[in-house]
């Protein structure tokens, strides 16, 4: 069950990034740590019609789907600007496309602490939810997607690069990046 995100006594002090939130949180964070979210995995499962594509030529974006685990970065929310940062995150992750659902889930920081964190899950009932696509279709959408914040292809490359900087491998994502770049994928 989801915990309330607005109550000051239970408000989450962290946000979990598994895609662009890793390298571009959009706010000054007092602390960032590598972290793991258990029970969810990163997947290109969202048609992007704003950030990484258009309604006429959608791209693909990452979402979190049930099962497995996901390594990413946790950013601590700043105390002094907490409400401002929360409004920013809601606008960024929910208002533009409405394809993410905000929830609070426990994450394990690299220092071993388990903390409640804001997490943005793919809304599987949303019209832009793509689900698991065949690789060829995912590659086609990644190659064509170009939106307000860049291309789907750059998004894939940035995610792979930042995971690599953390010493993390996401083999399906790496394969998708190679295939989208014109490689064999193996």
Write phi, then psi, for 14 (nearest 5 degrees): -130, 155
Both tokens of 14, joined, read 């962290």
Choice among 49, 56, 84, 93 that is catalytic: 93
Rounded Cα gap, residues 129 and 123, in angstroms: 7
In the chain, what is the greatest distance between 2 CA atoms, to the nearest angstrom? 51
Distances (CA, A) of 75 to 34, 54, 78, 81, 85: 9, 29, 9, 14, 11
Catalytic residue list contains 49: no
Active-site residues: which are they?
93
């Amino acid at each position: 069950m989801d915990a309330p995100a607005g109550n000051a006594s239970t408000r989450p002090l962290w946000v979990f990034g598994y895609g662009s939130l890793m390298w571009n949180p959009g706010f000054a964070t007092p602390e960032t740590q590598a972290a793991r979210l258990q029970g969810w995995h990163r997947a290109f499962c969202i048609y992007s019609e704003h950030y990484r594509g258009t309604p006429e030529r959608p791209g693909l974006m990452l979402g979190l789907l049930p099962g497995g685990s996901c390594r990413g970065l946790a950013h601590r929310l700043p105390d002094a600007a907490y409400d401002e940062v929360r409004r920013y995150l809601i606008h960024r992750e929910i208002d533009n496309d409405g394809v993410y659902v905000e929830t609070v889930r426990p994450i394990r920081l690299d220092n071993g602490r388990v903390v409640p964190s804001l997490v943005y899950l793919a809304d599987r009932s949303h019209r832009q939810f793509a689900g698991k696509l065949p690789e060829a279709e995912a590659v086609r959408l990644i190659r064509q997607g170009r939106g307000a914040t860049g291309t789907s292809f750059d998004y894939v490359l940035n995610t792979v690069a930042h995971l690599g900087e953390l010493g993390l491998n996401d083999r399906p994502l790496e394969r998708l990046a190679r295939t989208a770049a014109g490689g064999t994928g193996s």
